[in-house]
Chain A
Amino acid sequence: MTQGIYKTGVAAQRLEADAYAENFSDLHPAFDWHEAQVEADRCYFCYDAPCQTACPTDIDIPMFIRQIAADNPIGAAKTIFDQNIFGGMCARVCPTETLCEEVCVREIAEGKPVQIGRLQRFATDTAMAEQKQFYQRGRATGRRVAVIGAGPAGLACAHRLAMHGHAVKVFEAKEQAGGLNEYGIAAYKTPNGFAQAEVDYITAIGGIDIEYGKALGRDLAVGDLVKDYDAVFIGAGLGAVNSLGLGAGDIAGVENAVDFISELRQADDLAGLPIGRRVVVIGGGMTAIDAAVQAKLLGAEDVTICYRRGKENMNASEFEQDLATSKGVAIRHWVKPVAVTSEDGAVTGVEFEYTRLEGGKLVGTSEYFVEPADQVFRAIGQRLDETVFGDAGVDLDGGRIRTDAEGRTSHPKVWAGGDCTNRGDDLTVTAVAEGRDAAESIHKALVG
């Protein structure tokens, strides 16, 4: 870690100018050819491979690794893209340690799984660098499908629909496509504009028209879309952020972690981004880790993640937790926020109460402490803004869109996938799988 420049409060330029590029460089550098060969050689080409079973998109992992080992990275890339057109991003952001690599037999044998994610990246990067397009737009069916949201779910759906020859109109609320890939993931996981390059690679199939600045509820209504299109796919993600419920909304320095992450991803000059000297992140998921680590990388002196339960309850994977602590982030468990302290309208700290489990229920212990902070990030989850659906006849379940295994909602012309559904699990790879499967279901319904 580079040496910091001492500044009080929330301030920009906490580091020497050249430190930013180093801090935000690729978390897992790409394999070179020989490294990929060596790693691919470790794969046992298992029968009915556990890694493939663990992959939400069901990539034939042993086959693509064998193809890499046989110096056929293009073939490997096609094996990956056949199942997951976002194979490049998933290679970077998948929590492989809790998916494919967790069940790799070499993890079981020696605690050292084949690095599947990095091999996947080697193959997909090779194909994308060569601009190798594997799929063609199918012969036009004359059917039109509206896709709401140009994130992983929406574009995976759009791509598969285009393969089947349907005309796809994508409505995206933001100014760029990619969804959380573009706005919601730590910069060091996908540097060098990869998210946009991937969107271009995917939409190059043709037949996918994206209209930006169109948000559901504000500019679009599901009720209208079902009249204008043969089918509608909702892959809008979760727009709203859960509140702390501490009435701290107006206090300067208390922010949503997702906004911070998004702002950082869109920033042209990281040195110009103000960051607190003492930062507190409230939450225990990937977003909390991404915010905390990036705060630290921007030069914050003290960064503390505060989580109300124990280490094993954190949604962030163990790898992510270790990454945070290795970057100097402190993680406190069994504490819940009870008040935000402020002075002259600016945050000075967060008061926490210790917690413990009592008969399976989380309770406060009536012991308190104040964690000083000049910046606080909320990372306690996102939710669906139910109002955007109006009375379109799309039923919810637990605050998210109810879908069946094919992604069908309660409305016969509406499908959904990704985080906004009751089957979403906040993973890019799951969103891709659901978008892809919904496209197959839509295709079946339209031409079947």
Chain B
Amino acid sequence: MALSREQLAQRVAKELKDGYYVNLGIGIPTLVANYIPEGMEVMLQSENGLLGMGEFPTEDTIDPDLINAGKQTVTAVKGASFFSSAESFAMIRGGHVDLTVLGAFEVDVNGSIASWMIPGKLIKGMGGAMDLVAGAENIIVTMMHADKYGNSKLLPVCELPLTGYGCIKRVVTDLAFIEIKDGAFHLLERAPGVSVEEIISKTAGKLVVPEHVPEMTF
């Protein structure tokens, strides 16, 4: 069975390490915060100027001056700090964030990513995504493997305008955990109950499949 959004987030959370500073994008990446292993210390960075993002506030602690990059009201954890947008992107561009998790419309075998614009349909802007993919060494893209018509989103070459060129090395989809290297997708793990054949059929870009593909564990 394909992973639910929660399971996808759970699988990504397994890549967290104690002491990490992490930036989580909007959507599925945000859910990763719910699966930080007990006892592990992780600081969440929000690019609007907060390091140490906490959970949502209660009705009486809500503060309009304290929001996350999705413009949601949040709280700050003990040890948090606030700073300007320039400082925030110095952290990001300078490679100080240990792990970045973000969504995408498409990725390709060269590690390029498209996530910010669908010509003629959707023009919302790139926000901080271009800076995040350019600045981070360690990026995980979370996305659906194919669209609702079954068309692959893992392509030989991205068709939509790029967010970043050649910068993505790991992708977790609802079907598989994939590494991108040497101009190909490499199948590392499959979602429980999902066949290798299904993954092959829904991957348009070159896919390298090892003899044994383990099922994901959470």
Say whether A and B bind each other.
no
**Which B residues form the contact surface with A (CB < 8 A)?**
none
**Which A residues form the contact surface with B (CB < 8 A)?**
none
